[in-house]
Structure 1
Amino acid sequence: MYRKELFVFDQDKPIPAVIRNYEEKDFAGLILIQQESFPPPFPSELWWNEEQLTNHVTLFPEGALCIEVNGEMAGSMTGLLVDFDPKDPDHSWEDITDSGYIRSHNPKGNTLYVVDISVRPAFRKLGLGKWLILSMYEVVVQLNLERLLGGGRMPYYHIHAEHMSPGKYIEAVKKGDLKDPVITFLLRCGRTPVRVVANYLEDGESHNYGVLMEWKNPFKMNK
């Protein structure tokens, strides 16, 4: 199981934090993270529920991470294993994650797929999202998987959609000509774009597109 003690920083002030696997006793705190991260008008039925969380800690506990700051639950990240074929990459978030229930988890999969990452608004300037992603890279290495993969939203795409295809938008973000709050953040975390996928998730700002972003395991040993 995973546990890492570290310091995060509020400007120059170090604050103790712990990244660990979440458990059943954390469910109330995890649901609170969802409620604060996705407030109304986001539909409450899409927040984590106890059945989903039970599946996370039962089917793939290695992919269920949370971060505590000064002992307070501040963020979480969830993944599952899938057998990803780069030659057939198209999918939707709902299909590949089983709508967050992860009954699609494949213990023999080659890829750790990101289901969700959430940080409570009050903690968002502490770099917790990046720490969670870096910790999930360590899980990829530990399990000798090929990659971490997940679909990123493109929340600023709607501003440019009339004169720019989603592929050209991503190229502009990669060059630094445009900045996107999600894609730029994932680039800063070491993820690289693989493919733009249509109908990835219901998201008006992204025009329902998602960008598959991967981190390849540099230690992967082919058997």
Structure 2
Amino acid sequence: MTATFADRPVLAAREDGRYVVVQARAEDAPALEAVQRACFPDLSEEEIATARHFLSHQAHFPEGQLAVLDTQTGRLVASSSDFRMRVDFAHYAHSYLEETGDNLFTTHDPGGDWLYGADIGVHPDVRGQSIATLLYGARHSLIRRLNLKGHVAGAMPKGYCQVADQMPIEQYVLSVIRGERRDPVLSVQLGRGYGVWGIIPDYLEDESCGNYGVFIVWRNADYREEG
């Protein structure tokens, strides 16, 4: 029997049951926007995901829209947003708004063999409680269930702003890969098995990462060629 919380199927849960991952619904849209704004105060207003955007995500690819609920309070405290796409690794550079169809996921390809990680955010009030780990686990489970090749995303190197006047982005990312420096976002993703494919200039407007994105890749070891 599938576990449920508040009549919603539970896709993943922390060991103690405090936090559960569910598929996002239309009624979650305002809370999803609130989490987004709390997580990304430096993003431009054009790039922030609002309730309107989250509703569009759900319309195009409901399976890829995840939310984390606090079972003690019922509060929505985190989310992730993904869609399917085909990846041309020889031409990976893109802007966030271009790749996501102005953050509406109109670029979702039902036949795409990769999952694109458009967004993940954990409200600052509840960080450090393994909530992001739950979301990544649920994303990877979805990839395996759909038999996709893996997960790609434009990671935000949010620590780069602290040293941008001292080194180019390439040197910064290499130092993070080597473990010589820790980035609050990229280091965590590398620790989850993602690899760096390349650097994307003008990925988005965010001073904390110098507007750069880092194209990262997680490959599904269970992927099976079909047909």
Structure 1 runs not aligned, ≥5 long = 9-13
Out of 24, 27, 30, the residue aligned to residue 28 of structure 1 is 30
Secondary structure (helix, strand or coil) at the match of 1:52 reads helix
| Residue 64 of structure 1: how far off its partner (Å) | 0.2
- Provide the rounded CA distance (Å) in 1 between the counterparts of 2:193 and 2:225: 22
Q: Does 1:120 align with 2:127?
A: no
Give me the whole-angstrom Cα distance separating, in 2, the residues matched to 1:108 and 1:158.
38
1:168-201 deviation per Cα after TM superposition (whole angstroms, max 9, x unaligned)? 2111111111111011111122211111111111
Deviation at 1:36, TM superposition (A): 2.4
TM-score, normalisation: structure 1: 0.89
Summarize the Cα distance change of 1:177–1:212 in structure 2 as closer, same or farther, 3 Å threshold.
same
Q: CA contact under 8 A between 1:66 and 1:77: conserved in structure 2?
A: yes
Question: In the aligned structure 1, how far is the partner of 2:205 from the partner of 2:140?
Answer: 27
Cα pair 2:21 2:68 within 8 Å, conserved: yes
Determine the C-alpha separation between the residues in 2 that align with 1:198 and 1:140.
28
Structure 1 residue aligned with 2:10: 3
**By how many angstroms is 1:18 displaced?**
1.3
Query: Quick check: 1:86 aligned with 2:89?
Result: yes
Number of the residue aligned with 2:201: 198
Deviations 1:120-159 (A, max 9, x none): 1111121111211121011111111111010111122233
Find out whether 1:159 has 2:167 as its counterpart: no
Letter in 2 for 1:49: T
Partner of 1:87, secondary structure, is helix
Return the TM-score normalized by structure 2. 0.88
Q: Secondary structure at the match of 2:120?
A: strand
- Decide whether the 8 Å contact of 2:19 with 2:131 is kept in 1: no
Q: How far did residue 106 of structure 1 move?
A: 0.8
Count of residues in Structure 1 that have an aligned counterpart in Structure 2: 217
Identity across aligned pairs (percent)? 25
Native 8 Å contact 1:111 1:147 kept in 2: yes
Match of 1:55 in 2: 56
Structure 1 residue runs of 4 or more that deviate by more than 4 Å after TM superposition: 41-46
CA RMSD, 1 decimal:
2.0
**Cα distance change on mapping 1:181 and 1:21 into 2, 3 Å:** same
- 2:187 matched to which residue of 1? 184
Distance (Å, rounded) in 1 between the aligned partners of 2:200 and 2:45: 26
